[in-house]
A and B are shown apart, each in its own frame.
Chain A
C-alpha cells in the first residue's frame, strides 16, 4: 500500500503541473476527434447488427466476442512486451528495494503498474464502446459501472497471463542475451498468431464489401461460439445486463471473477516468489559481457552514426523488437497473399490502394518504436554531445538522414511487396511504392518532430516512452496524415479504377498535378518539421537542461 500511495502521489504531482496548457488542449482535442470517429463507426455497426431479424442478438454476441478477443490479445501481448522493463529493470527499483518493504508488496505494485501501462489505451477506448452501446440499449450508470468493473477484471486477467509469461521468460533467461530472448518471443508470437489465423480467419473478412458479407463472416465463425471462452462470457454479460437480467449477469460476473482470481494469483505467487532473485540476476552485470573489438570510422561526423548503430545492435531489447516487427510484417503480407483473389482487376487494384493505409500504419508503429524512442534514449548521454566541439544541429541532421534512409527504403520495399502480394498490376504496384516511400519520409519527420518537442528522459522503459504525451501525439497525427494521403489520392485512384487513367491525356495531366501536389506538401511537411524540431530541441536544452546528469 505504501508503494501504491507513493506512485499515486508521483502521478498526481505530474498532473498538477501541466507544463504546456495550449498543447495539452490540442492533444485532448485530437484525441476526442479520434474517439468520436470510432464512436460513430461502432454505433453504425451496432445498430445495424441489432436490427437483423431473429439473429441480431447472436450476431451481436459474436461481434462483441471478437472485439473482446482482440482487446484481450492486445492486453496479453503488450504486457509481455513491457512487463520485464517495468518490473525487473526499472530504475525505480534502486530506490524501492532498500526501503523496508516486503518484496511481495513491491512486486504487487510493479505488477499493477505493468497492467496500467499495458491497458490504459483499452480502457480509454472501452468508454467509447460504452457510449456506442447506449445507442442500442438504454442502460443506466449502475449497469455501465457493472460492465466496466467486469471488463477491468477480464483485462487484468489477460494482463496477469502476460505478466506470468514474461516472469517465466525473465526467470529462464535473465542474462538478456539477444538470442535466447528473441527466440522465445518469436515462439510465443508465432503461436499466438497461428491461433489468431486459425480462430479468426481474417482473410474471410476481406470478402466483405458489404455488411451482409460481414454478417456471414460472423455466423461462419465457430470459434466465438464456444461456450467455454471467457471472451464469450464477457460478451454475454454485457448483453444480459443490458436486457436487465441481473441474476444471469451476476453468475457470469462470478465466473469471470474466478477466472481473474486464478490467473492473478498464479502470476502473483510465481512472480513474488522469484522476484528478488530474478531482479538480482537480470540486473547483474559482470565479466560475462564479452570482448568487443573497436573498429571506428575515421571521420568526426561519421563516428556519431557509428555510435548510433553500435548502441542499437548491442541492445538486445532493440534487436528483439526488430524481430517482432519483422514477424508482424510477414503476417500482414501472408494474410494479404492468402486473401481471395478476384477476377475483377479494378477491385484488386482498389484494395492495393487502400493497402497504402495499412503499410503507412506499420511504418508509423515502426517510427514510434525506433525513431521516437531513439531520441528519448539519447537523454542522459546528451551532455557528451552538447559539450563536444560539434554542432548539435549537425548531429540531429545526420540522425535524421540516417532514419530517412532506413524508413524510405522500408516504405518502398513494403509498398512493392504488399502490392505484389495483392497481385496488382505493374503501374499500381509502382504508384503504391512511390506513395509509401514519400509517406514514410513524412512519418519519419513527424516522429522526429514530436520526439524533439516532447522527449521523455525520465525513464529508460521503452513502452513508457511510446505511451507518453509526445508518442501518442505522434501516433494521432500520423493517422491524420494517412487519412489525408488517402483522401488526396482518392480522385486519381477513382479515375484509374474507372479505367480512364493512362488513356486520356487530360486525366494524365490532372493525375500528375495531384501527385506533384501530394509530393510538394509532403516535402514541405518534412522540411518544416525537421527545422522546427531541431530549433525547439536545442533552445530548450540550452535553457533548461531538462535533466540532471544522473
Chain B
C-alpha cells in the first residue's frame, strides 16, 4: 500500500513536484508516465526515503517514510534509473550483501537458482565492473525476490534490457503483485505501462494531470493511451 498526500518539492527555482497525491493498493501495479524532467525520479526518490520533500506525507503500508524511514525501507525494494553499483564486488557478493542488510531468509541455493533463471549465473563470481549494462540491471532485479518487499519502486526499468529480460521483469512484477505487493513504476514507454499496469498517472512539470484505470481512460477519450499521453503533455507548452 502506497499513500502519497500533498507532496511538493523544488530544487531551488525548479519546482519538481507540485502537490502530488495518489494511492497504490496492495496487488496493484501503477505506472507513472511523463516526459523527461517531469519529476518521476524525484517522486520515486522521495518514496524510497532517499530525498526529503519540502511538503507532504508518504505512507508505505501505513508506515510514515519521513518519520520512520528505517521501518519503511525494510519493506521496500527500490531500483533507480541506471544505478551505480560497487564495481569491485562480484554479483554474488552484492546479492549476499543485500540479503544480509535486509535480513532476508532466502537460502544461498535459492539465490543461485534465481541467478540461473535470469541467465546471470555464469557471471556470479566476476566483478560487477566487468558487467554490461543489461547484466547489472538484471542483477538489481534479483534483489526483489531477496528482499521480498511489500512495496516495489522501479524507475525506468526497461532501459538497456533485451526482450527476453523484459519478459522476465514483467513476470517478476506480476508474481509480486499476486503476492499482494504494491508496485509503482516510472516510465516513458506507454506500451510497457499498458502491458503491466492496471492504473496510470500522467505527470508533467511536477503536476499529475491525468489519473485512472487504463481501460476507463481509453473509453472516455476514445483513443489510444499513446495519443492521450501526447495530447495531455502538450497542453502545458
Chain B residues with Cβ below 8 Å from A289 are 126-127, 129-130
Instruction: Known pairs A384-B86, A542-B51; list 15 more (Cβ under 8 Å).
Output: A285-B130, A292-B127, A300-B103, A303-B100, A314-B127, A383-B84, A387-B49, A387-B78, A387-B80, A388-B102, A389-B70, A543-B51, A545-B45, A549-B84, A550-B84
Chain B residues with Cβ below 8 Å from A498 are none
Q: How many angstroms from the CA of A388 to the CA of B103 in the assembled complex?
A: 11
Q: Is A423 an interface residue (CB 8 A)?
A: no
Q: Mark B76-115, 1 if CB is under 8 A from A, else 0.
A: 1010111111101110110011001111000000000000
Q: How many angstroms from the CA of A287 to the CA of B103 in the assembled complex?
A: 32
Q: Name the one of B45, B89, B101, B130 contacting A310, with C-beta atoms under 8 angstroms.
A: B89
Contact call A386/B127, Cβ cutoff below 8 A? no
Chain B residues with Cβ below 8 Å from A291 are 125-126
Chain A residues with Cβ below 8 Å from B82 are 549-550
Contact call A292/B101, Cβ cutoff below 8 A? no
Q: Mark A288-312, 1 if CB is under 8 A from B, else 0.
A: 0111111010111001000100110
Q: Is B73 an interface residue (CB 8 A)?
A: yes
Q: Name the one of A287, A293, A311, A544 contacting B86, with C-beta atoms under 8 angstroms.
A: A311
Contact call B100/A292, Cβ cutoff below 8 A? no
Interface size class of A (residues with CB under 8 A): 35 or more
Contact call B49/A292, Cβ cutoff below 8 A? no
Contact call B97/A545, Cβ cutoff below 8 A? no
Contact call A387/B48, Cβ cutoff below 8 A? yes
Smallest Cβ-Cβ distance to A311: which chain B residue: B88
Smallest Cβ-Cβ distance to B76: which chain A residue: A387
Q: How many angstroms from the CA of A387 to the CA of B11 in the assembled complex?
A: 20
Q: How many angstroms from the CA of A544 to the CA of B16 in the assembled complex?
A: 12
Binding site for B on A (CB under 8 A): 285-287, 289-294, 296, 298-300, 303, 307, 310-311, 314-315, 380-381, 383-384, 386-391, 542-545, 549-550
Q: Name the one of B86, B101, B102 contacting A381, with C-beta atoms under 8 angstroms.
A: B86
Q: How many angstroms from the CA of A287 to the CA of B129 in the assembled complex?
A: 11
Q: Quick one: which of B186-236 are within 8 Å of A by CB?
A: none
Smallest Cβ-Cβ distance to B92: which chain A residue: A294
Chain A residues with Cβ below 8 Å from B103 are 300
Q: Name the one of A299, A389, A549 contacting B80, with C-beta atoms under 8 angstroms.
A: A549
Q: List 26 A-B contacts (CB under 8 A).
A: A285-B129, A285-B130, A289-B126, A291-B126, A294-B93, A294-B125, A296-B93, A298-B100, A299-B100, A300-B101, A303-B100, A303-B101, A310-B93, A311-B88, A311-B89, A314-B127, A381-B86, A386-B49, A386-B50, A387-B49, A387-B50, A390-B70, A543-B52, A544-B11, A545-B51, A550-B82
Q: Is B74 an interface residue (CB 8 A)?
A: yes
Chain A residues with Cβ below 8 Å from B49 are 386-387
Q: How many angstroms from the CA of A303 to the CA of B96 in the assembled complex?
A: 10
Contact call A542/B127, Cβ cutoff below 8 A? no
Q: Are A381 and B85 CB-contacts (below 8 A) given A293-B125, A296-B93, A386-B50?
A: yes
Q: How many angstroms from the CA of A68 to the CA of B82 in the assembled complex?
A: 48
Chain B residues with Cβ below 8 Å from A293 are 125
Contact call A300/B127, Cβ cutoff below 8 A? no
Contact call A383/B83, Cβ cutoff below 8 A? yes
Q: Quick one: which of B110-139 are within 8 Å of A by CB?
A: 125-127, 129-130
Q: Are A296 and B96 CB-contacts (below 8 A) given A310-B89, A388-B102, A391-B70?
A: yes
Smallest Cβ-Cβ distance to B155: which chain A residue: A549
Q: How many angstroms from the CA of A542 to the CA of B49 in the assembled complex?
A: 8
